[in-house]
Amino acid sequence: MDRMSAQQKNSILEKALAYTSVSIIVIAVASYLTTLVVAMVAGREALASGLWQFVTVVAYVGLPIGFLLLIALLIINFSRRGREK
């Protein structure tokens, strides 16, 4: 019974990491595309003020964080499969 609860705990952790990493990557890509469109339409000066600074930072920081979470998910998954064998 303890082994089954440990597998469920790992499964919940893996699902949380998967959904979190995918959502962060999608938000980062959307903010990157938004930054490109705003820069083309309004010019680069528009990105230097207001809320656009935050959108630009999300585009730069979100993608690496999402990929680090994916790498953590892969490490957890490989270690779990190694223990099962």
Q: What is the pLDDT of residue 4?
A: 61
Q: What is the 3-state secondary structure (H, E, C) of 19-84?
A: HHHHHHHHHHHHHHHHHHHHHHHHCHHHHHCCCHHHHHHHHHHHHHHHHHHHHHHHHHHHHHHHHH
pLDDT of res. 2: 57
Quote the number of domains for the chain: 1
Mean pLDDT, contiguous 10-residue spans, the chain (85 residues): 62 90 96 93 85 90 95 90 79
- Structural domain contains residue 30: yes
Rounded to a whole number of angstroms, the CA Rg of the chain reads 18
Whether 72 is in a domain gets the answer: yes
Confirm whether 5 is domain-assigned. Answer: no
Say if CB 81 and CB 64 are below 8 A apart.
no
Whole-model pTM: value is 0.81
With the CA atoms of 69, 74, 77 and 83 taken in that order, what torsion angle do they form, in degrees rounded to the nearest 10?
Answer: -120
The pLDDT, as a whole number, for residue 7 is 66
Q: Specify the pLDDT at position 68.
A: 96
Residues spanned by the domain of 62 = 16-84
